[in-house]
Homo-oligomer: A and B are copies of this chain.
Amino acid sequence: MPAEIATLVAFFKVLADATRLRIVGLLAVEERSVDELATLVEVRPPTVSHHLSKLKKLGLVSVRSEGSTRWYRLEIEAVERLAREVLAGEGLTSIGDEVEAAAEDAYALKVMQTFMEGDRITQLPRQWRKKMVLVRYVAQQFEPDRTYTEPEVKAVIAPIHADHVTLRRLLVDVGWMVRDKAGREYRLNPERVAEL
């Protein structure tokens, strides 16, 4: 399970309050009634009720009724399970992957909107990552499984951007395009076509 962002936020949010944390701390020692908690943390009973309902919604506490008194206790296993799940190993990096996968396209789109007009690149950005977006776009204009002579390469790139020499060099540097042994013809690198 990749730890849903919403789950993580909910978990952190419920613990991101001093009063609630102190209640949790007290319940970690032994079970307590609402009234006791209210006195111990120095807030009014309704406030304690409010906090307990939030904790209960996450399953962090449970209740036992005895007469009109309600004894709350901490579900320690639940707390530890959630905590471990949240902070375990690459819990955070997995969020990164999730977000990235969902938003990388949007990022590319924005870069292209900024540095292109129609099908032409108006200007090459200085930042490497942005430049790569455009280089990828150019690479996509070539067909896989065929070779191009240098004039043919120029014929593809020049309509997109005046500085076709720089772009061709970038394509090779990045590895999306390769030259044959003679250094006379170009073609898309078959091993990296999948990235495009």
Contacts and interface: CB of A to CB of B under 8 A. Distances in A.
A69 interface: yes
Interface in A126-176: 126-127, 129
Q: How large is the interface on A (under 10, 10 to 19, 20 to 34, 35 or more residues)?
A: 35 or more
Contacts of A92: 24-25, 28, 74, 79
A42 B84 CA distance: 29
Given A39-B110, A40-B106, A127-B33, A96 B8 contact: no
A9 interface: yes
A93 interface: yes
A167 B185 CA distance: 103
A132 B99 CA distance: 55
Interface string A41-85: 110000000000000000000000001010000100001100110
A74 B25 CA distance: 30
Interface centre among A17, A27, A87 (most CB of B within 10 A): A87
SS of A interface (majority): helix
Nearest to A67: B126
A107 B92 CA distance: 41
Given A28-B95, A92-B25, A98-B25, A39 B107 contact: yes
A40 B107 contact: yes
A94 to B, nearest CB: 8
Q: What are the 10 tightest A-B residue pairs by CB atom distance, in nearest-first order?
A: A25-B95, A25-B96, A12-B16, A29-B96, A13-B16, A28-B93, A16-B16, A12-B15, A40-B103, A83-B87
